[in-house]
Chains A and B, each alone.
Chain A
Amino acid sequence: MKQNEGKIGIRDYMAIILLTLGSKVSDDTPTLLYKTAKNSAWISMLGIALLSLIPILFLLKVFSVHRNKNLHEINLHLFGKVMGNLISMGVLLLGFSSFVLDTSVYVDIIGSMYFTRTPTLALYILMLVVCGYGAKRGIESIGSAAWLTLFYLKATLFLALIFAFTKGNLKFIFPLWGPGTLEIAKTTGSKLSIFADFYFLGIIAPLVSSFKEFRKGTLWAFAIVVVEITAALIIFVILFDFTSIEVISYPFHETILYLSIGFLSNVESMFLPFWLVAAFIRFSFYLYLVVTLFGGIFKIKEFEYLVPVFIVIVLFLGIMPKNLTYTLPYLREMILGILSPLFFILPILMWGMAKLRGDFKREAEQSH
């Protein structure tokens, strides 16, 4: 039962990032950006990308000298036993909460847009069981599943966006600075954590075949995802305009419900299955990260067995909010607000500690 020993190559690693981060265009992330940055959401997205590059580069620097350690082990090494464990636990708590919230968002999408009569509980159980199975199979399976489906998922997304683009009117992106530069900057600051996933990726850093591939994969995937999300944000605006985009809860789904391709008028049934597969892989991966980190902190070697327990906890927490439609955006925003500064500061702090401890010097000496 030592599935976690296996390593994944750059191909699978990139596929995982592209799926987990890329599918953010299809949940409520765009809505959160549009809420404050209106039609200039894409500008604030570029700002977020630029700012996120700083912590990502610092993280990579730290990982370059601790190639065989994962995030938790590095935390222990840099901050000492007590502080390291505390930081890791905080990270775990935040990661776990966003996992719970993200899954409830997805369940809300499926429940309100597609299967209106199916009880939320049934959808939730089904989703978590599938993701639990994926997480239990380990990172290798998740990686190859991601790679196998990547092409189809991106092709359908691309198709949907292209058709939406032809239906839209490019002039809707004006006035260019939307609600004003100040609002855009505020959005950039508070929603920085859209890319906080890159911090959590540190948990599987030693599982990628080599550090070189880890760095290359991270940076390339980051660039692709930024382009993808920015393009989607522009396309949703030119399709719906700044007034309607604010009242629409899930722009991607509203888009595929609206589109008709030639004589095919109900094309959402073509996009839905692919989107669901992406969701399963995304949450399998998140669950795997959470369980791995938990296992690391509490020194549980065979952490795969924790998956069922986690599923039950997520299920109870996920269905606890009474009215998903109203509470979810609020909670999501809160957690993004907490994560944003942490995502920015923690990697810099880690780098500072490593510098103080002289880790970089030792590395330089070793390489001579």
Chain B
Amino acid sequence: MKQNNLIKLIFLIPFILILTGCWDLKGLDRQVFVIGIGLDVSDEKGKIDITYLIANPEVGTSFAGGGTEEDTVMTVTMRSPDFLSLRHSVNAAVAREISYDLLKVIVVSEELAKDEEFIRFLYSAEKDREIKRNTYLIVTKEKAAEFLSKNDPKFLTRPHKFYENMIQRGIEVGFIPNSELHHFFRVTEEDANLFLATYATTNIRQKEDEYRINEMDALAGDVRIEGETNSANFLGAAVFLEGMMIGTLTGVENRIVMLLHDASSITDILAPIPDPFHEDYELTVRIRKQHNTSVEMNVHDMPPKIHVTLPLTVDVLTDPSMENPVDNKKKVEKLRSTMEEFMETKIMALVEKSQKEFKAEPFGWSLYARKEFKTLKDYMEFDWMRTYPEMKIDVDVEIRFGQFGRQPKTPSYKGIRD
């Protein structure tokens, strides 16, 4: 009986050979993996310049043993009507079959993103089977081709890891939005809201007076980081309306959007805010969201009203004025009221910007409006996007203090100076 089974098993072994399939067979060593696709405007109508960022699979593996002198990445740029036919055209210069299986980012130059035609080119991503909806969209200040070839990280030289980690960390701390293609398509098709895409550049201002050293209320390229590190910044967001780029948000503005938006996965924010006790210094606070933003809406009034309450837990981590606010109820209250005021003005400024400049909102408030309607038809007739710029919006920040650093008390400044 046992032997019988063994013979049967042996008969089955040849079937392993057909498991690879016949037509869709792909050898790993016969492919090259595209990590990023760059899209740029070309002079010819109906075509774009497309750049591939191709990873070298032999670098960084244990086989190479550090002996290879090959580059980790290479870039190829060609003119093409879309990025599907390019897969074959590129084989004129690249030796292996192009695979999009590890595609992480689609990089678009600001110039193309602001073009009305842009959407035509990007939608072919929805048709290709290998391009996943979780690919990230990045907008660059310079040409995408330039960005992809100039970006040269010191660590994480394997590009798929670099982009994955860079973007994920950026989203966690709130400097860049979660710009998966999935969200781009969803927001564009819904046609009521703004979509935010990651903004990045390698084109960093060089003149002394043109860059700011340490403020995140800036766009990529405006912040200069000294030392030898990446030549690229990922900071801020490109704002898309109806599939076309119409503006930008700074890193801080993007954080505000992410705090207000319930669907964002922001965990906590470390940020400096003005110290109420000493105008020269700034406090560092950690801001966390306790629970979802509460949004009350009255859509039947004209103009409609929105009242937003943002509950936050704030840990005050530094005390440069050495005033010891923990001890004193009055000081805590002062801290709270100035902080709330500070945040509310920041938020309201952004809300106003969205109403006046963009004429649409990135905060996801239209989702709350949906609840107010019974059918899709009613909701469509209400026309969220047309109504939004006239709405009366007020935002309330409610702060609850959490910890005051590892050690809440510091000796007073005066006491030490005595």
Given A116-B129, A258-B133, check contact A180 B375 (CB 8 Å): yes
Given A242-B376, A258-B132, check contact A171 B186 (CB 8 Å): no
- By a CB distance below 8 angstroms, the chain B residues around A118 are 21-24
Given A180-B377, A265-B134, check contact A172 B367 (CB 8 Å): yes
Tell me the bound Cα distance from A180 to B375 in angstroms.
5
Q: Is the CB of B375 within 8 A of A171?
A: no
| B263 part of interface (Cβ distance < 8 Å) | yes
11 examples of A-B residue contacts, CB within 8 angstroms:
A122-B23, A169-B262, A169-B364, A175-B379, A177-B374, A178-B375, A178-B376, A241-B186, A241-B189, A257-B133, A265-B132
Q: Is the CB of B186 within 8 A of A243?
A: yes
- By a CB distance below 8 angstroms, the chain B residues around A179 are 375-377
330-384 of chain B: CB within 8 A of chain A: 364, 367-368, 370-371, 373-379
292-317 of chain A: CB within 8 A of chain B: none
A-B contact count (CB 8 A): 79
List 6 tightest A-B contacts by C-beta distance, closest first.
Answer: A174-B370, A171-B367, A243-B189, A118-B23, A258-B133, A175-B373
| A38 part of interface (Cβ distance < 8 Å) | yes
Known: A171-B367, A243-B190. 8 other contacts (CB 8 A): A39-B376, A117-B24, A119-B23, A177-B374, A177-B375, A179-B376, A244-B186, A265-B134
| A176 part of interface (Cβ distance < 8 Å) | yes
Q: Is the CB of A247 within 8 A of B189?
A: yes
Q: Is the CB of A115 within 8 A of B133?
A: no
Given A115-B24, A118-B24, A169-B263, check contact A175 B376 (CB 8 Å): yes
Tell me the bound Cα distance from A356 to B101 in angstroms.
65
Q: Is the CB of B190 within 8 A of A115?
A: no
Most interface-central of A174, A176, A179, A257 (chain B CB within 10 A): A174
Given A118-B22, A257-B132, A260-B134, check contact A175 B378 (CB 8 Å): yes
| B211 part of interface (Cβ distance < 8 Å) | no
- By a CB distance below 8 angstroms, the chain B residues around A115 are 21, 23-24
- By a CB distance below 8 angstroms, the chain A residues around B190 are 241, 243-244
Q: Which of B24, B129, B371 contacts A174 (CB 8 A)?
A: B371
Name which residue of chain A comes closest to B182, CB basis.
A258
- By a CB distance below 8 angstroms, the chain A residues around B186 are 240-241, 243-244
Closest chain A CB from B418 CB (angstroms): 56
Q: Is the CB of A171 within 8 A of B368?
A: yes
- By a CB distance below 8 angstroms, the chain B residues around A171 are 367-368, 370-371
Chain B 174-199: CB-based contact to A (< 8 A → 1; otherwise 0)? 00000000100110011100000000
Name which residue of chain A comes closest to B371, CB basis.
A174
- By a CB distance below 8 angstroms, the chain A residues around B375 are 175, 177-180
Name which residue of chain A comes closest to B192, CB basis.
A243
- Interface size of B by Cβ–Cβ distance < 8 Å? 29
- By a CB distance below 8 angstroms, the chain A residues around B367 are 169, 171-172, 174
Chain A 15-54: CB-based contact to B (< 8 A → 1; otherwise 0)? 0000000000000000000000011000000000000000
| A68 part of interface (Cβ distance < 8 Å) | no
Tell me the bound Cα distance from A38 to B370 in angstroms.
14
Q: Is the CB of A38 within 8 A of B376?
A: yes
Name which residue of chain A comes closest to B104, CB basis.
A265
143-192 of chain A: CB within 8 A of chain B: 169, 171-172, 174-180
Chain B 155-172: CB-based contact to A (< 8 A → 1; otherwise 0)? 000000000000000000
| A254 part of interface (Cβ distance < 8 Å) | yes
Chain B 225-265: CB-based contact to A (< 8 A → 1; otherwise 0)? 00000000000000000000000000000000000001100
Tell me the bound Cα distance from A314 to B373 in angstroms.
47
Name which residue of chain B comes closest to A242, CB basis.
B376
Name which residue of chain B comes closest to A248, CB basis.
B126
- By a CB distance below 8 angstroms, the chain B residues around A240 are 186
- By a CB distance below 8 angstroms, the chain B residues around A260 are 134
| A209 part of interface (Cβ distance < 8 Å) | no
Tell me the bound Cα distance from A66 to B408 in angstroms.
81
Name which residue of chain A comes closest to B379, CB basis.
A175
Tell me the bound Cα distance from A113 to B128 in angstroms.
9
- By a CB distance below 8 angstroms, the chain A residues around B368 are 171
Closest chain B CB from A31 CB (angstroms): 16
Tell me the bound Cα distance from A113 to B262 in angstroms.
32
Most interface-central of B24, B186, B364, B379 (chain A CB within 10 A): B186
Chain A 236-280: CB-based contact to B (< 8 A → 1; otherwise 0)? 000011111001000000100111100001100000000000000
